[in-house]
Amino acid sequence: MSDLLKLSGVHTHIGRYHILQGIDLTVPEGQVTMLLGRNGAGKTTTLRTIIGLWQASKGEITLAGQRIESLATPDIARLGVGYVPESMAVFSDLTVKENLVLAARDAPLDDKQLDWIFGFFPALRRFWLSRAGSLSGGQKQMLSIARAIVEPRKLLLIDEPTKGLAPAIVMALIECLKEIKRKGATILMVEQNFFAARELGDNVLVMDNGTIVHRGEMAALAADVPLQERLLGLSLEAHQ
Amino acid sequence: MTDLAATDPLPKPKRDLAPILLPLALALLMIPLIGSTSSWLTLTVASLAMGMMIFIMASGLTLVFGLMDVLNFGHGAFIAVGAYVATLVLAPFAASIQADSLWMNLAVLGPAALLSMAVSGALGLVVERVLILPVYGQHLKQILMTTGGLIVAEQTLYALWGPQIIPMPLPASLRGSFIIGDVAIAKYRVLAMLIGLSVFIAIQLVLNRTKLGLLIRAGVENREMVEALGYRIRRLFLGVFMTGSALAGLGGVMWALYREQVHASMSDDLTVLIFIVVIIGGLGSIGGCFIGAILVAMVANYGGFLVPKLALVSNILLMVAILMWRPRGLYAVTSR
Amino acid sequence: MMILSGDPPRSRVLTLVLVVIILALAATPFLFPGAKALNVAAKICIFAALVASYDLLLGYTGSVSFAHTMFYGIGSYAIAIALYGMGPNWAAVATGIVAGLPLAALLALAIGLFSLRVAAIFFAMITLAVASAFQVLASQLSWLTGGEDGRSFQLPELLRPGTVLISKNLFGFEINGRILTFYLVFAISALMILALLRVVNSPFGRVLQAIRENRFRAEALGFRTVFHLTYANCLAALVAASAGILNALWLRYAGPDTSLSFSIMLDILLMVVIGGMGTIYGAIIGATIFILAQNYLQSLMGVASKAADEAGLPLLPGLLHPDRWLLWLGLLFIASVYFFPTGVVGRLRHGGGKKTAGPGH
């Protein structure tokens, strides 16, 4: 299996702060890789550096064999990277339809793709012509994910999709993401919710202080409770 | 598959109407205060005409800020440049302007306005590349650079045209008023209203009906996400900046004709007025800018009629009142 | 070092330049004869203090205010109206001070509190709008302010040029009321600059810089940024009004052109940028360079313009005309923001080979 995305020795500075301090990671094609770690470990910064919203100050980022670390965000997106930010960032002044029209960058909206999306996000059909700002939190998250998959993308970067959602909605969202995964998507996903991570992830990366401190298979981590406690117990503590 | 929305309340699209009702309420409130219906009507038309001109000048500034977080303190320069450039066409064709034929007048006025827009728009290109691009993302320097740009533009106009006020008479067919009963409505004000309304409708159509417009609206709200979707927002911004500059030039021509004179210092007074409009409307909001411009013009006209002394500070009072009510302006569209 | 609040110029060249400027200013009545030199020296003193107070806002809090001349004007007009109305006596001077300073502080407080309630980005625009309204107000209330003509007035006996305090001694110098006024201006300006130096190096000044760097973080650290910014605004306004008082006393006049016009605001901006933002010392350097250039270069422009005119060159006579002084100023301004953002002081501190830490470290 080939690696779709590869980061080696990536450093990112934000102002005076040295956030990423040498990240090495790979995201295998067709699999879901979970990025875990406590708050402030640099997970969101990693995703933002990949999509080019922060500029890496050192290191290499390779997408499908092409170096992308010095490209501008729009050019990276055009190579087939979909991004679902932590804040969801739906355009609240635009309707659901208009949000998706913009997301379909290369062609008019494709009905088949839409039907597939409506299949697991029926609310989007129901509120097709409503302002995105009037949607509930869960619906905004669906719209944000739908935007990333309305056209086929090579790689999806998803930042904490379950954050702040009610448990029932989290369950449903996990089912949707599994459906997207079944379609063969490659996903790098930040998650704090270990349950969601275990359900979805093939591989797992754990970050701390701007570096990767553990990499392996999700199943192995899920089975090894002491390891979980060592790697993630910290994060639970930090959460209080 | 669970329907995620099953338990969610049905969201209803809600439009925020209070700001729209504000100028209407203000106009109605003035009827008993002013007393005479004909004066009220004249003042209201004057307010609308003035408001439209201010809107044309301010619309570009609000979009430029909303889209790219750029504070352009030199926007007023485009207004003055537009007005001066128009004199280049209007002066040699003074005879056609004074001829009492609407078509002959418009045949000169139209090209003059187009030339003004072209020059202001081209100047916008230069200003964006030279003054704004190097200090992109740094508010403090943007303010300083564009303030410097305003001074240079004004002084260059003085150097080229001299410091004196240049008269800019209204074309013959636009002088005078339509008399309906005992109400006199200046012809030029009607034209100004028509142009302003057309610009407003055109902007709204572009913003709401085209993909380009969707991109602009989306960019105003969240620039990063538009880029993450794969759109190069810098080019979009340059286009908006140039369009805004061209509109400011058009506004400058209209304002100069309204005042029947051109002077480089017109940009100073109008800059303050435009800032107030943009702040009242909410940075980045075209609708807010439209309502804000009408409110500012109403306060100036009604206020000037009722309490002339107050007219000096009426705009500030209006701004304070609106911001007390809504600290981010009538419509807060940016996520910042 | 006590007097400099532990914030010395930190560059040998800068120290030398400052010492030369201060000594030259102090000795102007004896070194450079004539009214023009004394006027220039007094103006440098007044503007150094005015610009230093603006630096407190621009350099240390990062907020651009266009209302600084308004406070300067309030000081000028307060003293002018008092002396004009009450006659040339010390009670009038006291009245002007007692009325002007609190008015400036209150207005700054009002603008500060109001601006802080709304989006921070509005601050520059709001101050511009308020300042322009104030300007119109001052020219319209002519029964009070004298309108466009302004107010001329007489100084108390002691400060008049005709009052000879020490008659010509063996060195050939006469100490009169005018020279006493100059030293009054010099001393008070110097005191205000030293006070500002103290303020920016106090814990309060450090908080201001923290707010400038990252307002949210400063708030998260528990600083009440609203309080700090408003307080800085009021302090800056007080110093500006005091500088305005000195200006009116020196000119024996207050009018829209000398104390309120927008071009003074531009002058201040230019001086602070040329001198170096966030350094206080930059104010002295900026004011000196700018005012010397204004007084001596502007006449050179006239010569150049005439020469170009006689040579029959197109456009150049218009561009070089002394009235187009602002054009070159604007270009200089853009160039300094772009190429020279740390100003003279920043250049001398960091460009001189020996690397020194910037403020706040």
Query: Is B268 within 8 Å of C137 when comparing Cβ atoms?
Result: no
Q: What does the pLDDT read at residue B115?
A: 97
**Best to test chain A binding among B229, B232, B285 (most A CBs inside 10 Å):** B229
- The number of C-alpha atoms within 13 Å of B14 and in the hemisphere containing its C-beta is 8
Q: Minimal Cα distance from B211: which residue of A?
A: A102
pLDDT at B13 over 80: no
- Is A162 an interface residue toward B (CB < 8 Å)? no
Q: Which residues of chain A neighbour B222 with C-beta distances below 8 Å?
A: 89, 91
Maximum Cα interatomic distance, chain C, rounded to a whole number of Å: 67
- The number of C-alpha atoms within 13 Å of B59 and in the hemisphere containing its C-beta is 29
pLDDT at C219 over 90: no
Choose among C126, C315, C334: nearest Cβ to B145: C334
* CB count in 10 Å sphere of residue A93: 22
- The CA radius of gyration of chain C, in Å to the nearest whole number, is 21
Q: Which residues of chain B neighbour C128 with C-beta distances below 8 Å?
A: 271-272, 275
pLDDT tens digits along C222-275: 788 888 889 999 999 999 999 999 999 999 999 998 888 888 998 999 899 999
Q: By the 8 A CB rule, do B42 and B184 touch? A: yes
Rounded-to-integer distance, Cα A203 and Cα A188, Å: 10
Contacts of C106 (CB under 8 A, 6+ apart): none
Query: Is A77 within 8 Å of B333 when comparing Cβ atoms?
Result: no
Q: What does the pLDDT read at residue A234?
A: 53
pLDDT tens digits along C305-342: 888 888 877 777 777 888 888 888 889 889 888 888 88
Q: What does the pLDDT read at residue B69?
A: 79
Query: Is B152 within 8 Å of C315 when comparing Cβ atoms?
Result: no
pLDDT at B84 over 60: yes
Query: Is B158 within 8 Å of C323 when comparing Cβ atoms?
Result: yes
Between strands A81-84 and A155-159, the pairing is parallel
Structure tokens that stand for C6 in this block: 């532990």
* More confidently predicted of C164 and A63: A63
Structure tokens that stand for B258 in this block: 């309204």
Query: Is C331 within 8 Å of B148 when comparing Cβ atoms?
Result: yes
Q: Which residues of chain B neighbour C318 with C-beta distances below 8 Å?
A: 159-160, 162
Q: What does the pLDDT read at residue A166?
A: 84
User: Measured between alpha carbons, how far is residue B197 from residues B64, B81, B102, B110, B191 in Å?
Assistant: 20, 23, 20, 17, 10
Q: What does the pLDDT read at residue B292?
A: 96
Structure tokens that stand for A203 in this block: 């591989």
Choose among A91, A136, A171: nearest Cβ to B222: A91
* More confidently predicted of C15 and B333: C15
Q: Report the pLDDT averaged over residues B166-186.
A: 88
Q: What does the pLDDT read at residue C351?
A: 64
Q: Which residues of chain B neighbour C137 with C-beta distances below 8 Å?
A: 312-313
Contacts of A201 (CB under 8 A, 6+ apart): A32, A33, A34, A189, A191, A218
- Is A89 an interface residue toward B (CB < 8 Å)? yes
Q: Report the pLDDT averaged over residues B189-218.
A: 93
Q: What does the pLDDT read at residue C220?
A: 78
Q: What does the pLDDT read at residue C359?
A: 37
Q: How confident is the model at residue C170 (pLDDT cuts 50, 70, 90)?
A: low
Query: Is B4 within 8 Å of A173 when comparing Cβ atoms?
Result: yes
* CB count in 10 Å sphere of residue A188: 25
pLDDT at A36 over 70: yes
Q: Which residues of chain A neighbour B287 with C-beta distances below 8 Å?
A: none
Q: How confident is the model at residue C355 (pLDDT cuts 50, 70, 90)?
A: very low
Q: Report the pLDDT averaged over residues A66-75.
A: 94
Q: What does the pLDDT read at residue B117?
A: 97
pLDDT at A123 over 80: yes
For the four alpha carbons of C275, C277, C281 and C284, in that order, the dihedral sign comes to: positive
pLDDT at C63 over 50: yes
Rounded-to-integer distance, Cα C238 and Cα B206, Å: 50
Q: Report the pLDDT averaged over residues B78-106.
A: 90
Can you list the domains of chain C with their CATH numbers? 2-351 (1.10.3470)
Query: Which amino acid would we find at residue B132?
Result: I
Q: Report the pLDDT averaged over residues B238-245.
A: 94
Q: How confident is the model at residue C357 (pLDDT cuts 50, 70, 90)?
A: very low
Query: Is B152 within 8 Å of C125 when comparing Cβ atoms?
Result: no
Distance from CA of C281 to the nearest CA of B (A): 20
Read off the pTM: 0.85
Query: Which amino acid would we find at residue C214?
Result: N
Q: What does the pLDDT read at residue C321?
A: 81
pLDDT at A239 over 90: no
ipTM of this predicted complex? Answer: 0.90
Q: By the 8 A CB rule, do C326 and C298 touch? A: no
Q: How confident is the model at residue B44 (pLDDT cuts 50, 70, 90)?
A: very high
Q: Report the pLDDT averaged over residues C189-197.
A: 96
- The helix (H) or strand (E) run that includes residue A189 is strand A186-190
Closest among B51, B104, B89 to B296, alpha carbons compared: B51
Choose among B145, B159, B279: nearest Cβ to C327: B159
| Range from B186-190, B265-269, C171-175 carrying the lowest mean pLDDT | C171-175
Q: What does the pLDDT read at residue B244?
A: 94
CB pairs under 8 A between A and B: 101
**What percent of chain C clears pLDDT 70, i.e. is strictly above it?**
96
Query: Is C331 within 8 Å of B312 when comparing Cβ atoms?
Result: no
Q: What does the pLDDT read at residue A159?
A: 93
φ/ψ of residue B144, rounded to 5: -65, -45
| Range from A95-104, B9-18, B69-78, C166-175 carrying the lowest mean pLDDT | B9-18
**What letter does residue A131 receive in the DSSP assignment?**
B
pLDDT tens digits along B21-36: 999 999 999 889 888 8
Q: Report the pLDDT averaged over residues B238-262.
A: 95
**What percent of chain A clears pLDDT 90, i.e. is strictly above it?**
52
Q: Which residues of chain B neighbour C114 with C-beta distances below 8 Å?
A: 320, 323
Residue bearing tokens 């309906």 = B180
Q: List helix spans (H) across chain C.
A: 12-31, 35-58, 68-86, 90-117, 123-140, 142-145, 177-201, 203-213, 215-220, 225-251, 256-259, 262-275, 281-292, 298-310, 316-320, 325-339, 343-351
Distance from CA of B23 to the nearest CA of A (A): 23
Rounded-to-integer distance, Cα A41 and Cα A212, Å: 9
- Is C114 an interface residue toward B (CB < 8 Å)? yes
Q: Report the pLDDT averaged over residues B93-117.
A: 90
Report the range out of A210-214, B167-171, C101-105 with the highest average pLDDT.
Answer: C101-105
Q: What does the pLDDT read at residue B198?
A: 96
Mean pLDDT, chain B, integer: 88
pLDDT tens digits along A81-114: 999 998 888 998 899 999 999 999 888 888 888 9
Q: Report the pLDDT averaged over residues C79-93.
A: 94
Q: What does the pLDDT read at residue A134?
A: 87
Structure tokens that stand for B25 in this block: 């309420």
**What percent of chain C clears pLDDT 90, i.e. is strictly above it?**
48
- Is C135 an interface residue toward B (CB < 8 Å)? no
Mean pLDDT, chain C, integer: 87
Q: How confident is the model at residue A212 (pLDDT cuts 50, 70, 90)?
A: very high
Q: How confident is the model at residue C184 (pLDDT cuts 50, 70, 90)?
A: very high
Q: By the 8 A CB rule, do C276 and C282 touch? A: yes
Query: Is B227 within 8 Å of A53 when comparing Cβ atoms?
Result: yes
Strand-pairing partners, residue A83, are A157
**What percent of chain B clears pLDDT 70, i.e. is strictly above it?**
95
